[in-house]
Amino acid sequence: MARKMLIDGEVSQPNEEEAHYDFDLFVIGAGSGGVRASRFSANYGAKVGICELPFHPVSSEVIGGVGGTCVIRGCVPKKILVYGATFGGEIEDARNYGWEVNEKVDFNWKKLLHKKTEEIHRLNGIYKRLLSNAGVKLFEGEGKLVGPNEVEVTQLDGTKLSYSAKHILIATGGRAQRPPIPGQEFGITSDEALSLEELPKRVVVLGGGYIAVEFASIWRGMGVAVDLCFRRELPLRGFDDEMRAAVARNLESRGVNLHPRTNLTEVIKTEDGIKAITDHGEELIADAVLFATGRAPNTKRLNLASVGVEIDKVGAIKVDEFSQTNIPSIWAIGDVTNRVNLTPVALMEGTCFAKTVFGGEPTKADYRDIPCAVFSIPPLATVGLTEEEAIEQAEGDILVFSSNFNPMKNTISGRQEKSVMKLVVDAESDRVLGASMCGPDAAEIMQGIGIALKCNATKKQFDSTVGIHPSAAEEFVTMRSESRRVAGAKKPKTNL
């Protein structure tokens, strides 16, 4: 099959006199983005090679696994633990629905851990088969650049293999980071948190992002005493402030101890456990301290400088809107570029790369209206602009429609936990600019709302849609009265 390549921004036909390469494409990193780009490029007829570090649930500079962060030590195992933790509250709620449940219900952490590990091993095998079935050659080992068209792979036995490729794609993702404080070696990251041999009884979590909030919810749902420390007044900076407040209320109502405007200054190992000292002088004793303080691009061992690939101040690879670096033959997608660090975004970028380079269809990734979710218990999901972003960007007035209600299920169970929904609308065009929800099934509902926003749906079209009754989702099509109207000129600043 003839392949069309993107050269200097234009699609060109292959030249018979071009230099011979071992591969049309060699990919470093077999996570979600790398696997997607490899398979789709191979489907266009490209000869593709890919390398990945050996498998292990906990990553390091020399350990990884086909499937990458999401499959092995991220989204998938995390969601499995969320499911497991959710049963704790469900069992409590079941009593008022007629289920006679013993007061003491045992939870077997090791059984769940075993099932989780079985599942990620299964998925690791599936990803390998996907590559094989697409005709992609997989190499197990560490890859690095040795030239603009050459990759060196160090195999498990130390043997070094060198391959040439017309195009090289870097998709090495990112890794969890520890804060630079004394005793940081006594803490753990999300990698280790997903594979602890024993379930801790007391945990301190440092961080206000989605990873911190999710693990706080997971552990609390399993009966663990949790202290969550974060630097701002509310967790989840960057999300809608009203939703952040709802998440904070839910965490507290389920028993998580919140420590806003709090950082850790030192971690000390003692006979009683791990002592975490805050910047307020408070001492928190725990069996584990989780650092959920950010992730960094995996670029240190790629030998980028010797080839001249540009990176930014955090180590992320700089790319253009087609994911091409300053070296024309080298490309990068996913978290290693630090654009929008979500698995479905890496998949989108991998698809766009394959279309651009081998499909004869130059395609830019579209980062508008990307739905996302925080799998706290209950979850938060959003798409489009937050209220704060809409006001900041507004040229005219913004209409806000919101609903705060007790889910039908809670009326019987007695759980005091309200769902919150919001639509942000441009007053002049009536276009829905953003939607947010904190409550059960938020992620499932928001995926459908995301399609509507991608189609530039108006509030009138939402209102004309018949709801599914009884459901929480119908609230998005029955919010008739605006909660407030904010003039575009009024741009409140938040320091939450």
**List of residues 6+ apart from 328 with CB closer than 8 A:** 7, 8, 148
Query: In terms of DSSP H, where are the helices of 285-386?
Result: 304-307, 343-358
Residue owning tokens 């469900």: 90
- Cβ(366)–Cβ(450) below 8 Å: no
User: How many CA atoms are closer than 13 Å to the CA of 44, on its beta-carbon side?
Assistant: 23
Q: Is 369 annotated as a binding residue?
A: no
Phi, psi of 132 (to 5 degrees): -60, -45
Q: Is 143 annotated as a binding residue?
A: yes
- Cβ(246)–Cβ(240) below 8 Å: no
The shares of helix, strand and coil residues in the chain, as percent rounded to the nearest 5, are 30, 25, 40
**List of residues 6+ apart from 260 with CB closer than 8 A:** 230, 232, 233, 234
Q: Is 315 annotated as a binding residue?
A: no
Closest CA to 65 of 50, 73, 54, 78: 54
126 Rama sector, left if φ>0, alpha if ψ -120 to 50, beta otherwise: alpha
The answer to whether 469 is a known catalytic residue is yes
Q: Is 314 annotated as a binding residue?
A: no
- Cβ(354)–Cβ(361) below 8 Å: no
CA 352, distance to chain mean position in Å, is 19
- Report the distance separating Cα 80 and Cα 278, nearest Å: 31
Q: Is 21 annotated as a binding residue?
A: no
- Report the distance separating Cα 473 and Cα 471, nearest Å: 5
Single out the catalytic residue among 114, 121, 280, 469.
469
- Report the distance separating Cα 353 and Cα 357, nearest Å: 6
Q: Is 208 annotated as a binding residue?
A: yes
Q: Is 92 annotated as a binding residue?
A: no
- Report the distance separating Cα 248 and Cα 28, nearest Å: 40
Q: Is 212 annotated as a binding residue?
A: yes
Beta bridge partners of 152: 144, 162
- Report the distance separating Cα 451 and Cα 447, nearest Å: 7
Q: Is 48 annotated as a binding residue?
A: no
Residue owning tokens 């959920």: 292
Phi, psi of 267 (to 5 degrees): -125, 130
Identity of the amino acid at 494: T
- Cβ(419)–Cβ(439) below 8 Å: yes
- Please tell me what DSSP assigns to residue 337: G
Burial code of 239-271, b = ≥16 C-beta within 10 A, e = fewer?
A: bbbbbbbbbbbbbeebebebbeebebeebeeee
Q: Is 442 annotated as a binding residue?
A: no
Q: Is 187 annotated as a binding residue?
A: no
Q: Supply 339's token pair.
A: 């654009």
Q: Is 74 annotated as a binding residue?
A: no
Task: Cite the beta strand spans of 361-397 per DSSP E.
Answer: 372-374, 380-384
- Report the distance separating Cα 436 and Cα 95, nearest Å: 31
Residues assigned a catalytic role: 469
Residues that constitute the known binding site for NAD(+):
207-214, 294
Residues that constitute the known binding site:
79, 143, 207-214, 294, 335
Residues that constitute the known binding site for FAD:
79, 143, 335
